[in-house]
Amino acid sequence: TSPQLDCAGRILRLDRARVMGIVNVTPDSFSDGGAHDTTEAAVAHGLKLVEEGADLLDIGGESTRPGAAPVSVEEELRRVIPVIEQLAARTQVPISIDTFKPEVMRAAVAAGAGMINDIYGLRQEGALDAAAATGVPVVLMHMQGEPGHMQADPHYDDVVAEVHGFLVQRLFAAEMAGIAKKNLLIDLGFGFGKTTAHNMTLLARSERFLELGVPMLAGLSRKRSLGELTGRDTPSERVAASVAAHLIAVQRGARIVRVHDVAATVDALKIWQAVEAVPTPRADA
């Protein structure tokens, strides 16, 4: 039986790398800023990403980019719940909720979400119990510091060892809270309290994390490190770099990649899958 995730009834097979499409429901990411238009635009975007080949969607109502302003529980719910309800009704793919707030986790799963993606790794008060109560798979991500200042001056004695130790501790905490190991995933948290050097070290040594025995998610899409390495100052100019980074992440063990550019990533992974399908020559052949 090849690995798979049961996302509230929607099965996500992990026999090959899967593409998670990003749907930001933040007024500043859509022209008008009006509530209805924001919902409508976010739903349309999610449908477009599924058309492009997304295997699942990640719905986020609060930007956690460095320096972003916090959003209240009420406001975050107002943004994401209508989008989750509509997308769950209009597509068959699993819907992930990108939140660290326990109340939003519970409401999102009640509204049709089948996965929780928590950049704080369930460290907020009440998050472990909320996630356990939903019964859906959970992504535990590493972050050093908080979004407000995490990129000020990130420092590690040994970034791989420290990120590994953090994820071991979060996996333990999640299992102690009653979350089955088969429902746990990890994420190295590219760009969350890391310099470009830290990010590239983690990407280069991703395979080290497979020993944790859970699927790994990678999210480098359009991030600053890719801009620094290519000189592309605008996120939308970082598509080629993002596709390259996620192909490398998959080659080094990632099972899910979280991307803005679904069509391009799907094409790149098709080439990887064609190469992976070539049988290894037998030793005595």
Ligand X SMILES: Nc1nc2[nH]c(SCCc3ccc(S(N)(=O)=O)cc3)nc2c(=O)[nH]1
Catalytically active residues are: 223, 258
Neighbours of 157 (CB within 10 A): 6
Question: Is 65 among the residues that bind ligand X (CB under 6 A)?
Answer: yes
Strand pairing partners for 257? 19, 218
Question: Is 100 among the residues that bind ligand X (CB under 6 A)?
Answer: no
For residue 216, give the amino acid letter: M
Out of 117, 195, 242, 265, the only residue in the binding site for ligand X (CB under 6 A) is 117
Question: Is 255 among the residues that bind ligand X (CB under 6 A)?
Answer: no
What gap in Å lies between CA 60 and CA 8, rounded to an integer? Answer: 19
**Residue 279 neighbours by CB under 8 Å, 6+ apart:** none
Out of 81, 217, 243, 247, the only residue in the binding site for ligand X (CB under 6 A) is 217
Instruction: Return the structure tokens found at 4.
Output: 């798979």
Report the nearest approach of ligand X to the CB of residue 127 (Å): 14
Size of the site for ligand X (CB under 6 A): 20
Out of 79, 164, 255, 258, the only residue in the binding site for ligand X (CB under 6 A) is 258
Strand pairing partners for 23? 59
Nearer Cβ to ligand X, position 86 or 225? 225
Neighbours of 274 (CB within 10 A): 9
Instruction: Return the structure tokens found at 218.
Output: 């990678």
Nearer Cβ to ligand X, position 79 or 223? 223
Question: Is 98 among the residues that bind ligand X (CB under 6 A)?
Answer: yes
Question: Is 119 among the residues that bind ligand X (CB under 6 A)?
Answer: yes
Question: Is 62 among the residues that bind ligand X (CB under 6 A)?
Answer: no
Candidates 47-55, 63-71, 75-83, 239-247: pick the segment binding ligand X (CB under 6 A). Answer: 63-71
Of 1-40, which residues contact ligand X (CB under 6 A)?
Answer: none
Question: Is 219 among the residues that bind ligand X (CB under 6 A)?
Answer: yes
CA atoms lying within 13 Å on the CB side of residue 236: 0
Cite the beta strand spans of 209-271 per DSSP E.
216-218, 254-259
